[in-house]
């Protein structure tokens, strides 16, 4: 007797060991790739540390507060204090400019001042600000921003060479503003509408509601966004390298050229050898630690301060 396969009753057979194995294999493979991400992170940290080891042994912790960077053979002295100063100051100025502007933009885009269609276009434009390549900002900075700054400050009788902390910080501010705006707007939009309705119902004005209810409720997202922007500003390379002047000195004037850790790496890596490579790796390790602290803090703030509804 032959049984036509298509007319046989539904089978109640169990899965074969092969099929079960296939399932487990698939899940295991995907998990392997997920764990690969963690491995990659550890590998980045370890590799840079190992490569930096000769410099760490030779210069020790004083690398962090030495101000000279001299790659001349036989008289090599390396220290990153000016670059740490440049990284922190340029990021701080950029934040100072970008936080009020970015938050104001986020508030404007999350309220109903203008029709939704126009708002969608504006949101898209702010996103575009983040999508323009860093090197294009650098090119624009060299040929448009710096001449404009020179002309403007010239009106007040101030003259300067051009590439400077000020120019780099201004472009940095433009580049991190969309990060602050996007994350603040997201966390404002995620608030339950009852908060706003309740506040209006009690007689609060629109801006009273924004300052006393909405911003406090969304503060975790806003601060987290600012921290992420800070991390980005500290690691930003190309635009800063093209505009900051790359001078390894600490100068309190914002119009003087300066340097950042990432610019140092961008400038010197391709031509470095010997202990200079190790020193650059040491500098890279310092940058990794700095951004790691900021990013972990950002993650932690978002989790800790998050209001529960």
Partner 1 sequence: MTTISGKPGDIFDAQSLKAKKSSSRNLFNIIMTGLSGLCILLALIPLVLVLFYVFVNGVNRLDLDLFTQLPPPPGSAGGGISNAIMGTLIVVAISTVISVPIGVLCAIWLSEFGSDETSIDEYVRFGVNILAGVPSIIAGVFIYGIMVRPGRPGYSALAGGVALAVLMLPTIIRTADEALKIVPQEIRWAALGVGASKYQTVLKVVLPAAVPAILTGVTLAIARAAGETAPLIFTALFSPFRFNGITNPIATLAVLVYNFAILPFKAQQELAWAASLILVLMVLLSSIIARVATRQKTY
Toward partner 1, which CB reaches closer, 48 or 89? Answer: 48
Q: Please, which residue, 63 or 137, has the CB nearer to partner 1?
A: 137
Per DSSP, the residues of 81-142 read HHHHHHHHHHHHHHHHHHHHHHHHHHHHHHS-SS-HHHHHHHHHHHHHHHHS-HHHHHHHII
Residues 263-282, one symbol each (x = binds partner 1 by CB under 8 A, - = not), give --xx--xx--x---x--xx-
Interface pattern 87-126 for partner 1 (x via CB under 8 A):
-------------xxxxxx-xxx-x-x--------x-xxx
Site string for partner 1, 121-140 (x = CB under 8 A): -x-xxxxxx-xxxxxxxxxx
Give the nearer residue to partner 1 in terms of CB position, either 39 or 307. Answer: 39
How many chain residues touch partner 1 (CB under 8 A)?
90
Interface stretch with partner 1, choices 27-35, 54-62, 72-80, 151-159 (CB under 8 A): 27-35
Give the dihedral sign, CA 156/162/165/166: positive
Structure tokens belonging to residue 133: 């390549």
Contact characters 42-81, partner 1, x per CB under 8 A: -xx--xx--x------------------------------
Residue 2 has φ and ψ, to the nearest 5°, of -110, 145
Rounded to the nearest 10 degrees, the angle between the axes of helix 215-235 and helix 165-189 is: 140
> Should residue 26 be labelled a site residue for partner 1 when binding is judged by CB under 8 A?
yes
Per CB under 8 A, contacts with partner 1 among 140-199 are: 140, 142-144, 174, 177, 181
CB 283 within 8 A of CB 293: no
Using the structure block, give the residue that is written with the tokens 């020193």: 279
What CA–CA distance (Å, rounded) separates 199 from 210? 9
Nearer to partner 1 (CB atom), residue 72 or residue 131: 131
Q: Which is nearer to partner 1, 2 or 73 (CB)?
A: 73
| Cα torsion angle, 122, 124, 130, 135, sign | negative
């Amino acid at each position: 007797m032959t049984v036509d396969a298509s007319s046989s009753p539904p089978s109640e057979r169990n899965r074969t060991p092969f099929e079960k194995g296939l399932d487990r294999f698939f899940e295991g493979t995907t998990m392997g790739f997920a764990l690969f991400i963690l491995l990659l992170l550890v590998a980045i940290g370890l590799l840079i540390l190992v490569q930096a080891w000769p410099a760490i042994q030779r210069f020790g912790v004083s690398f962090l507060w030495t101000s000279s960077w001299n790659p001349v053979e036989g008289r090599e002295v390396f220290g990153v204090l000016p670059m740490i100063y440049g990284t922190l100051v340029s990021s701080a100025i950029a934040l100072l400019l970008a936080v009020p502007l970015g938050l104001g933009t986020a508030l404007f885009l999350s309220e109903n001042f203008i029709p939704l269609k126009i708002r969608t276009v504006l949101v898209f434009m702010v996103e575009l600000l983040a999508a323009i390549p860093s090197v294009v900002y650098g090119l624009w900075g060299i040929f448009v921003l710096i001449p404009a700054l020179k002309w403007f400050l010239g009106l007040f009788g101030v003259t300067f060479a051009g590439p400077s902390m000020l120019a780099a910080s201004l472009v940095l501010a433009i580049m991190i503003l969309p990060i602050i705006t996007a994350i603040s707007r997201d966390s404002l939009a995620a608030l339950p509408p009852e908060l706003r309705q309740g506040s209006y119902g009690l007689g609060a004005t629109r801006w009273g509601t924004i300052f006393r209810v909405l911003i406090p409720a969304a503060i975790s997202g806003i601060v987290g966004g600012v921290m992420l922007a800070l991390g980005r500003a500290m690691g930003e390379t190309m635009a800063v390298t093209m505009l900051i002047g790359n001078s390894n000195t600490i100068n309190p004037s914002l119009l003087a050229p300066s340097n950042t850790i990432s610019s140092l790496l961008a400038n010197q890596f391709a031509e470095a050898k010997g202990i200079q490579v190790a020193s650059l790796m040491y500098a890279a390790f310092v940058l990794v630690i700095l951004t790691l602290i900021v990013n972990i803090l950002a993650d932690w703030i978002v989790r800790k301060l998050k209001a529960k509804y």
